[in-house]
Structure 1
Amino acid sequence: MLVDSHCHLDRLSYNDIHIDLADVVNKAKLRKVEHFLSVCINLESFESMLELIAPFKEIFASCGVHPLYLKDSEADLDSLYHFCSNPKVVAVGETGLDYFYSPDNKDQQLAMFEQHIDVAVATKKPLIIHTRDAKEDTLRLLKHAGAERVGGVLHCFTGDLELAEQAMEMGFYISASGIVTFKNAKALQEVFTHIPVERILVETDSPYLAPIPHRGQENQPAYTADVADFMARLKGLSYTQLCQQTSDNFFELFKFAQR
């Protein structure tokens, strides 16, 4: 069994690549991907995403405001808390900091990130963190706001070993996406050789960042199997071992998710 620990199911190409969400789920299950975490990137799209995934018990939800969507969002703390309190929601995010694409609104990003940590602590749900070119501020705010009380995951990880190790000390997991399979990702692959498999998740981040051999195509949850296969070989484990451990890790972290 596999879990796609991070996908954006409301952003896939329906009526083009896929018939509907049931088609996406069935394609994934043919490759033994049996659970999914559908991640919200702004509050405006949360309710429609929730409606889309509602019929599927194997699909869990998160709610948050991605740092690159702050300018377009009407997010407020009360709405964030209300949505994150929904029983279908097992995590808060994705949230975090992105100074690579959006260096001009750091103060706004930091304020919203701290609000997400506060909501995560209040709802006792783990955080899904996006961080790019913001290592120091990410770690500082996680420590300052008490994120270790709920833990979480650094998703689609592309950072260095120091970032991973300090995050793991606060109870965080590190998630591998299709990026780790890329030929130019040797440094990232080296980092993952040092991360204990007990702290690794696998994801697609679909529809983005399709792994090899699907690079250049729209990503989808079925391709979690390709990420897992690469990670098993990188870690010197059998495919079955890697799938079992990362699935166990998912349910250990996201305690509101039911197998």
Structure 2
Amino acid sequence: MTQPPRITDSHCHLDFPDFEGEVPELLARAAEAGVHRMVTICTRLRNEPTVRALSEAHAPIFYAAGTHPMSAAEEPLASIDELLALTAHPKFVGIGESGLDYHYTAESADIQKQSLLVHIEAAQRSRLPLIIHARAADKDMADILSAEHKNAPYSCVMHCYCSGPELAKRCLDLGFYLSMSGIATFPKSHEVRDIFAAAPVDRVLVETDSPYLAPVPRRGKRNEPAYTAFTAKVGAEVLDMTPEAFAAQTELNFERLFSKVAAYKGAA
């Protein structure tokens, strides 16, 4: 039997209640689908110990932490020192997710911007990649990311990219990465697929954002890391690559951006 190509789920939420008590089984299904590692994202810093424990208990799991923009008004404002202290852990590999969401939480735009600036500085100082959530905030998002990058360069992934082509262009011009989620597999997501088709192949990642946004043919069900394989299949088609070539390229891209993962693997 031919083994599936190895890929990485660059963004999931394995600490969410949807997966309670089920992580070993999730990892087994992921491995069977070719998903050999994943980055689980802590969206509220008070939950960081839980996410850290998942990474310590399971070899394929790495983690990142930050304050999600939709939670920015409910959580204490993170400090740069607090974020930098987390980076000492060998499996802590990114800052965030942070960003702006004006679709659901436009009323907290000011605190979202304050929180975002803290996360950007932590990324600049730690040299770990910034993980960005952006929804219905394209201009502010592009302007802030560009201005801060001019002040001090940093690396960044626009996770679950489904914003417009102009924000994509500005981010790619800064050397940032776009991550493809299950949204790209939805029949009506023509614009999203067009954005990825026009992106440099060395700047594309894949993810689930599980438990959300399960790709076709699992749409409407709970998402999980194994389903990254369905999104990767569509990604290969969009970029006119074989599944094997697309998987190999996204692995190179992931390890270039999340260099701490590659260093950890090398030290293992």
1:107 maps to 110
SS in 1 for 2:86: helix
Return the letter of the residue paired with 1:8: H
Does residue 152 in structure 1 map to residue 122 in structure 2? no
Any unmatched runs of 5+ in structure 1? none
**Which of the residues 66, 71, 87 maps onto 2:73?**
71
Q: CA deviation at 1:88?
A: 1.6
Letter in 1 for 2:115: M
Identity of aligned residues (%): 35
Q: TM-score, normalised by structure 1?
A: 0.94
Task: State yes or no: 1:51 paired with 2:56.
Answer: no
Say how many residue pairs are matched.
256
The answer to whether 1:89 aligns with 2:92 is yes
2:128 to 122, 125, 128: 125
Q: Does 1:173 align with 2:171?
A: no
Q: After TM superposition, where is structure 1 displaced by more than 4 Å over at least 4 residues in a row?
A: none
- 1:128-181 deviation digits (Å, cap 9, x = unpaired): 000111111111111222276221100000122221121012121000000010
- Shift of the alpha carbon at 1:224? 0.3
Matched, 1:163 2:167: yes
1:256 aligns with 2:257: no
Could you list the runs of 5+ residues in structure 2 that have no partner in the other structure?
1-5
Per-residue deviation at 1:256?
Answer: 0.7
Task: Give the match for residue 14 of structure 2.
Answer: 9
Matched residue of 2:223: which SS?
coil
Alpha-carbon distance, 1:252 to partner: 0.5
Distance 2:24 2:245 in 1: 28
Deviation string, structure 1 residues 10-39 (Cα, Å, up to 9, x no partner): 115346xxx531211110000110010111
Distance 1:194 1:42 in 2: 34
Query: Residues 64 and 93 of structure 2 are in contact (CA less than 8 Å); yes or no, is this contact kept in structure 1?
Result: yes
Contact 1:12 1:207 in 2 (8 A): no
Contact 1:44 1:74 (C-alpha < 8 Å) held by counterparts? no
- SS of match in other structure, 2:259: coil
Q: What do you get for the CA RMSD once the two structures are aligned?
A: 1.5
Kept in 1: contact 2:13–2:209 (CA 8 A): yes
Q: How big is each residue's C-alpha offset from its partner over 1:52-74, in whole Å with a ceiling of 9 and x where there is no partner?
A: 22122321111110000112212
Residue 80 (1) aligns with residue 83 (2): yes
State the distance in 2 between where 1:12 and 1:221 align.
15
Q: Does 1:222 align with 2:231?
A: no
TM-score, structure 2 normalization: 0.91
Contact 1:63 1:94 in 2 (8 A): yes
- Maintained 8 Å contact 2:54/2:61: no
Cα contact 1:39–1:61 (8 A) shared by 2:
yes
* More off after superposition, 38-47 vs 188-197: 188-197
Task: Note if 1:202 corresponds to 2:196.
Answer: no
* Compared CA separation, residues 198 and 217, structure 1 to 2 (3 A): same
8 Å contact from structure 2 (residues 73, 111) kept in 1: no
Q: Which stretch shows the higher mean deviation, 75-84 or 232-241?
A: 75-84
